């Protein structure tokens, strides 16, 4: 490096902010360059002067207390908000999961009803979930009814299963499941407060 390039690094050299190789290069140049020696001396004097005469204002304890009390108020407001929100999310999440379980059970009952209707006699109130299931899933209701009435036995079973796992139903199920899981994991995340290191 030539003299002009070296002068760019003189301040960083004084501050020990250069890597070893660059620092050595600058040092070697300074040892033979009087202009750089003069700049270094002048800069070191400026640094020492600034260190010696530090403008200073003492910290007011009142101000610190004011900040802390302000933050405490903010924290209390946030706590109230987050408790309210987590409660709501939890309820929505639980309702969605119950809906999922209910849907699954009623779907099972629907299959049993078609494959082995005699089994249903042993299940009390079996018709109630069946009708509720119809209300929840009109598409499966339509497919099941159609298949049940018009198709031969084997083909009926296959189409019945296809009807239950129709892409639209799978999509709806997955969406509801994802929302429920997200809401519950969000709730868990709120209580899982990671540590912070102060350096």
Partner 1 sequence: MNKHIDHETFTDIVHKYYEEVVNYLYRFCGDRYLAEDAAQIAFIKCWQNLDTYDKTKTFKPWLFRIAHYTAIDLLRKEYRQGDTISDSVEGKSPTPEQIIEENEQTVYIRNAILQLPEHLRSTIILREYHQMNYRDIAETLNLPIGTVMSRISNARKLLAKSLEPLIEEK
* Contacts to partner 1 by CB under 8 A: 8-12, 15, 17, 42-43, 45-47, 49-51, 53-60, 63-64, 66-68, 70-72, 74-75, 78-79, 193-194, 196-199
Give least dist CB 17 to partner 1, A: 5
Nearest CB to partner 1, comparing residues 27 and 72: 72
Question: How many C-beta atoms surround the C-beta of residue 14 within 10 A?
Answer: 16
Give least dist CB 104 to partner 1, A: 37
Give least dist CB 67 to partner 1, A: 5
Q: What is the largest CA-CA distance in the chain?
A: 107
Question: How many C-beta atoms surround the C-beta of residue 58 within 10 A?
Answer: 5
Which of 174, 168, 185 is CA-nearest to residue 93?
185
Q: For residues 81 and 72, what is the distance between their CA atoms, to the nearest angstrom? A: 14
20-23, Cβ contacts within 8 angstroms, sequence gap of 24 or more: none
Nearest CB to partner 1, comparing residues 27 and 38: 38
Nearest CB to partner 1, comparing residues 16 and 118: 16
Nearest CB to partner 1, comparing residues 56 and 125: 56
């Amino acid at each position: 490096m030539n003299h002009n390039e070296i002068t760019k690094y003189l301040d960083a050299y004084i501050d020990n902010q250069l890597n070893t190789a660059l620092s050595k290069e600058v040092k070697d140049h300074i040892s033979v360059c009087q202009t750089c020696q003069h700049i270094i001396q002048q800069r070191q004097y400026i640094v020492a002067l600034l260190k010696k005469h530090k403008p200073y204002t003492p910290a007011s304890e009142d101000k610190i207390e004011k900040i802390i009390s302000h933050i405490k108020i903010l924290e209390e407001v946030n706590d109230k908000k987050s408790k309210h929100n987590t409660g709501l999310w939890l309820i929505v999440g639980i309702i969605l999961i119950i809906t999922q379980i209910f849907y699954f059970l009623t779907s099972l009952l629907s299959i049993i009803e078609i494959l082995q209707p005699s089994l249903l006699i042993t299940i009390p109130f079996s018709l109630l979930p069946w009708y509720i299931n119809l209300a929840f899933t009109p598409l499966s209701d339509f497919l099941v009814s159609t298949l049940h009435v018009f198709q031969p036995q084997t083909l009926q079973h296959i189409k019945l299963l296809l009807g239950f796992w129709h892409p639209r139903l799978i999509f709806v199920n997955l969406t509801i499941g994802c929302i429920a899981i997200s809401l519950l994991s969000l709730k868990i995340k709120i209580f899982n407060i990671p540590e912070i290191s102060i350096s």
